[in-house]
Amino acid sequence: MKEKTQTKTGGSIWKGLGGEKEDIQEKPIRLVDVPKEKKEVKRVYNQLSGIYNEILDEMKQVVAGQEKVIEQILIAIFTKNHALLEGFPGLGKTLIVSTLSGIMDLDFKRIQCTPDLMPSDITGTYVVEERDGRKIFKFEKGPVFTNILLADEINRATPKTQSALLEAMQERQVSVGTSTYPLDKPFFVLATQNPIEMEGTYPLPEAQVDRFLLKILVDYPRIEDEDRIVNLYTGEIVPKTSRVMSKEKLLAIQELTRKLPIANDVKGYALSIVTKTRPKGDGTAKKYLDYGASPRATIGLVLAAKARALIAGRNYVSKEDIDEMAYPVLRHRLILNFESERKGITTNEVIEKILKEV
């Protein structure tokens, strides 16, 4: 049997994949020695930069600009986590999510959150069905049984309905009555909210906000992007996209993300940033914050940095990855004090000051 070989591009990322830990670029990996499921993970690793560029190219068919928003949504997905998108109406938040689900060949459902939305409208409910002359209860699954769930304007739902998503987001399961139903893999909640309209809204409790890995800010497009948006949606041709990633490839990327090595000094840097957000002693946190980030933020920061490194085609995490991901990971986990509110200090500005302190 003829052996296939390929050049090794990373060190300890291959540990546990059937190869041994070696110096970079030393000798080829013998794919015939690697179990079949691990071979797929290695192939996906080599293709990852190309896959990411293909996704961006397809997104450009429908969405103009917003490359950073798309990258951060993919980072959340690659780390098996959820994301909260915040931006003004009409900036394409819903369009980005629905288009991405089609490109990745994932089942997609949308919930339009309103004050009259009930928890059973999300999770599902039991219905009475007649079978062989007998009446039985059958569980009718709700929209949460999908791969990507878009909770549009999530802050318009009541706290009772918002809490129906908590178990699904954390445990990937739904409990109804005495039964528990597992959700499909992969499963992500991508929620949107409008920051300017507060009438008839219910701000998310801190416990639920903390379940989102990233809070992604969607800003106005650049003028050249807006010009392209006008051309795309005022012409005769309706923009379309094609599928470029299978569910199996996505699961392999999620496995790769967790296997990516991180140096102890870089991990220590991430730990220092998160601990600096806790208002103890002197410093920026004591001056501007009531509460800082929990260990969940540290886990999220390291995972997000790993995913960003993979997307960039690197097999190691750099301090630049940590700095870049600190903003979306921390901005919804820091509670500003009265002094910050009075002076109009934002969480982004506090994070910037903390990064300079570390």
Give how many domains the chain has, as a whole number.
2
**DSSP bridge partners of 128:** 137
Tokens (6 digits) for 187: 């499963």
Inside any domain, residue 308: yes
pLDDT tens per residue, range 213-251: 999 999 898 999 889 888 888 877 777 788 888 888 888
Q: Which domain holds residue 346?
A: 260-358
**Token pair of 205, please?**
């409790």
CA dist., res. 65 & res. 337, Å (int): 35
* Domain assignment present for 290: yes
User: Distance between CA atoms of 174 and 160, rounded to whole angstroms?
Assistant: 15
- Domain membership flag for residue 46: no
Q: What is the pLDDT along the chain (358 residues), one digit of tens a residue?
A: 444 444 333 444 444 444 443 333 333 333 333 344 555 566 666 667 678 888 888 888 888 888 899 999 999 999 999 999 998 888 888 888 888 888 888 888 999 988 898 988 998 888 888 877 788 888 888 899 999 999 998 988 888 888 888 888 888 888 887 788 899 888 999 999 888 767 768 888 888 888 899 999 998 989 998 898 888 888 777 777 888 888 888 888 888 888 888 999 999 999 999 999 998 877 888 999 999 999 999 999 999 999 999 888 888 899 999 999 999 999 999 999 998 888 889 999 999 999 998 8
Residue 234 lies in a domain: no
d(CA 309, CA 304): 9
In the three-class reduction of DSSP (H, G, I as helix; E, B as strand; rest coil), residue 92 is classed as coil
> Under a CB-based contact definition with an 8 Å cutoff, are residues 204 and 154 in contact?
yes
Q: What confidence tens digit (pLDDT) does each residue in 107-126 have? A: 889 999 888 989 889 988 88
In a domain, 28, yes or no: yes
Q: Is residue 59 part of a domain?
A: no
* Domain contains 332: yes
Q: Around 90, how many Cα atoms within 13 Å sit in the side-chain half-sphere?
A: 6
Q: What is the CATH number of the domain that holds 312?
A: 1.10.8.80
117 assigned to some structural domain: no
* Non-local CB neighbours of 84 within 8 Å, separated by 6+ positions: 154, 191, 192, 193, 209, 212, 214, 215, 216, 332
- The secondary element (H helix, E strand) that includes residue 311 is helix 295-311
